[in-house]
Amino acid sequence: MTEQPEQYAGTVLVAGATGRTGQWIVKSLLQHGIACRLFVRSRQKAVELFGASAEPAIVTGSADNPDEIRRALEGISAVICAIGSAVTDPESPPPSAIDRDAVLRLAALASESDVSRFILVSSLGVTRPEHPLNRYGRVLDMKLEGEAGVRRLFSTGNRTFTIIRPGGLLDGPPRQHRLVISTGDHISGSIDRSDVAEIAVLSLYAPEAANRTFELIRNEEEPQKSLQPVFRMLCDRSAPHRKSEPGASEND
């Protein structure tokens, strides 16, 4: 049987669209024919990356500003959030401001709007307080708090979430490796941003991804026709469509 993924019909807001993963998310949405809006801090950067034809889809603003977020959310049915702090730049806002507070702000305002689906790019290792990355503004702890808010806000009513915890991010082209999805935050490894983006987009309509938190790394090199089958790894461990993952959810 040929696998024909269904199309996502709504408009998707990409937060952090000019980031290195965000750019791939936009490319993937366009390839899948999914309508999107780009929530960016710099219109100029967005036009340089996506061309003048992207202009109508660009909404400028900061995830620090509730009014700008509300404006960006008008008419949106799903959010893919790929914002992140610049942990090694002392001039930039700390992880508490971006990976926790900005994510929580975006999720809260999205949950008050017509958004029914929230997909968050988080990080592998968030449940390990002793992880070396936590030396940088406790970035993983902050991400875990952001995750918890997304799970809480998007596991009730008609709202669903997907939290993707990628390994170390690389800049290779998409679909060149087998992927590994796991839960429980036990694995380590790396993955291409392009593949994280593709999984984020497929999560919009993969039933196995609804209300799930999972880690994602790449395995051996082997060109892939589609990344859709990787979601089957989630079915093996538990039933899909779970509304929430209580208790274990923060570690699962």
Ligand X SMILES: NC(=O)c1ccc[n+]([C@@H]2O[C@H](COP(=O)([O-])OP(=O)(O)OC[C@H]3O[C@@H](n4cnc5c(N)ncnc54)[C@H](OP(=O)(O)O)[C@@H]3O)[C@@H](O)[C@H]2O)c1
Q: Which is nearer to ligand X, 62 or 116 (CB)?
A: 62
Kindly state whether residue 163 participates in binding ligand X, applying the rule CB under 6 A: no
Per-residue x/- marks for ligand X, 44-83, CB under 6 A?
A: ------------------xxx-----------------xx
Which of 117, 193, 212, 218 touches ligand X by CB under 6 A? 193
Q: Please report how close the Cβ of residue 157 comes to ligand X at its closest, in angstroms.
A: 26
Which of 42, 44, 156, 226 touches ligand X by CB under 6 A? 42
Which of 14, 16, 110, 210 touches ligand X by CB under 6 A? 16
**Crossing angle for the helix pair 66-73 and 103-111, nearest 10 degrees?**
50
Q: Which is nearer to ligand X, 81 or 202 (CB)?
A: 81
- Helix/strand/coil for 229: helix
Kindly state whether residue 41 participates in binding ligand X, applying the rule CB under 6 A: yes
**What's the length of the chain?**
252
Kindly state whether residue 153 participates in binding ligand X, applying the rule CB under 6 A: no
Which of 98, 140, 181, 201 touches ligand X by CB under 6 A? 98
Kindly state whether residue 169 participates in binding ligand X, applying the rule CB under 6 A: yes
Number of residues that bind ligand X (CB under 6 A): 22
Kindly state whether residue 123 participates in binding ligand X, applying the rule CB under 6 A: yes
- Give the interface segment with ligand X, choosing from 4-12, 163-171, 216-224, 237-245 (CB under 6 A): 163-171
Q: Which is nearer to ligand X, 83 or 204 (CB)?
A: 83
Give the chain as a 3 state SS string. CCCCCCCCCCCEEEECCCCHHHHHHHHHHHHCCCCEEEEECCHHHHHHHHCHHHHHHEEECCCCCHHHHHHHHCCCCEEEECCCCCCCCCCCCCHHHHHHHHHHHHHHHHHCCCCCEEEEECCCCCCCCCCHHHHCCCHHHHHHHHHHHHHHHCCCCCCEEEEEEECEEECCCCCCEEEEEECCCCCCCEEEHHHHHHHHHHCCCCHHHCCEEEEEEEEEECCCCCCHHHHHHHHCCCCCCCCCCCCHHHHC
The site for ligand X (CB under 6 A) is made up of 16, 18-22, 41-42, 62-64, 82-84, 98, 102, 121, 123, 166, 168-169, 193
